[in-house]
Amino acid sequence: MQEDLLTKSGVADVLGTNPMRVTRFIERNEINTVKKEGKRELFKLTQFNALKEELNAPEAKKDAQSHSFSKDDYILTLKQQLKEQQQQYEQVIESKDETISSLKETIATSQKSYDDMKDQLAVKDNQITSLTKLTNNAQTLNMVDKDPKRIQAAHGDAERSNEKTSSSDETDDSTKKPPKKHWWPWSR
């Protein structure tokens, strides 16, 4: 009699279905356990003849096939997901590489612009130096073209005005006013 008694999973194995379907059949048809051994509930296989017929029906087979997931299906699904993740990862890497290339091009362009501006500044500095030299030469030529007597007179006037300021500093001591006397020293 022990051989006829099976657990839910044992019934599922014999009928070729999953234990959840056996559990739902038990609840739906209110099948009672024949014997309990601890937590294990034992059933007679004959109690599941209706389930066996239900499973052998063509509609049930199609339904079972559409809802069942074999290990191979699960592995194929996981492989497909991994492949999709790998493609996404490769796209992200490619996008980052494109961004890096674009930034390198921008840096190269900026460096070229900077070098061009440096060259232009050097040209400007050379032009300023040349203009300063030309201005000095023009002033020198202008001075040479003037009457040498006027140049000497201008130099002489400049020297005399320098002498006057130094001599007037010496002679101004006599023309200075005496210091003003205040009343408070006498109040003592």
Residue 62's domain is classified under what CATH number? 1.10.1660
Residue 17 lies inside a defined structural domain of this protein: yes
Share in percent of the chain as helix, strand, coil (round to 5): 80, 5, 15
Residue 23 lies inside a defined structural domain of this protein: yes
How many domains does the structure of the chain reveal? 1
Q: Tell me the percentage of the chain whose pLDDT exceeds 70.
A: 71
pLDDT in tens, 144-156: 777 666 666 666 7
Residue 54 lies inside a defined structural domain of this protein: yes
Residue 16 lies inside a defined structural domain of this protein: yes
pLDDT in tens, 5-47: 888 888 889 888 888 988 998 898 888 888 888 888 888 888 8
pTM for this model (two decimals)? 0.33
pLDDT attached to residue 71: 66
Residue 34 lies inside a defined structural domain of this protein: yes
Can you give the residue range of the structural domain that contains 24? 2-68
Residue 51 lies inside a defined structural domain of this protein: yes
pLDDT in tens, 91-112: 889 889 888 998 999 999 889 9
Residue 18 lies inside a defined structural domain of this protein: yes
What whole-number distance in Å separates Cα of residue 9 and Cα of residue 13? 6
Residue 50 lies inside a defined structural domain of this protein: yes
For the CA atoms of 122, 127, 129, 132, what is the dihedral angle to 10 degrees?
Answer: -160
Using pLDDT thresholds of 50, 70 and 90, give the confidence band for residue 1.
Answer: very low
**43 φψ region: left (φ > 0), alpha (ψ -120 to 50), beta (else):** beta
